[in-house]
Structures are given as structure tokens and as C-alpha cells.
Amino acid sequence: MTDDPPFRPRPKPAQAEPDYSGEVCQVIERLPGDQVRCTLIGNCNYRCNWWAPQATAGYDNPAMGGLLVTTHRVRKSRVLRVTRDGERLVIEERAQR
């Protein structure tokens, strides 16, 4: 007799989920000046942020642009469900909690 554990087959590797984030950023509606960032979070869901320039009126030197990270703020953030229907992306906004 041996103390070996019983044989268990390895689970099949999960199929990689397609990442449409680049395509979503290209086709999503935006306002002038917006920069859109989209990240796959799983199960066809994406976090999409619309970054917009912050008003410079309150700066002590409004002519100084500063770094992008300090002069832009998230104007809008949504979770989107993205699937593909043939060649077309189907983008649906998920309900806010």
C-alpha cells in the first residue's frame, strides 16, 4: 500500500476572455477634450473612465499646464458590458448601485 493521494484529473485551463478595451475606447461617445480609458474587469464587464481637463481658473498661474495627472479629473465613470455580435461591438451600460 502507498500513501499517494488518489489520481485527480487536472481541470481544463480557462479559455482567455477577449479584451475589447482598445476598441471600446475608439468608439465610445466622448466630449471634446475627453480622454477615455477602459479596462476589462471580467465577465465581459469593463470599467470605463472619461478623463477631462480640470478648469485652471483657480490656479495661481493658470498659464502653467502642469502634469496631465494633476490637471485632468475623471468626469464620468461607468461599468459597461461589452460583447461582440459579428463584427459589431454591443456596449450596454450596467446599472449603478
Which residue is listed with cell 465613470? 77
User: Is this structure's pTM higher than 0.85?
Assistant: no
What pLDDT digit, counting tens, does each position of 85-96 carry?
999 999 999 886
What pLDDT digit, counting tens, does each position of 35-55 carry?
999 999 999 999 999 999 876
Show me where the domains of the chain are located: 21-93
Give the H/E segment covering residue 40. strand 35-42
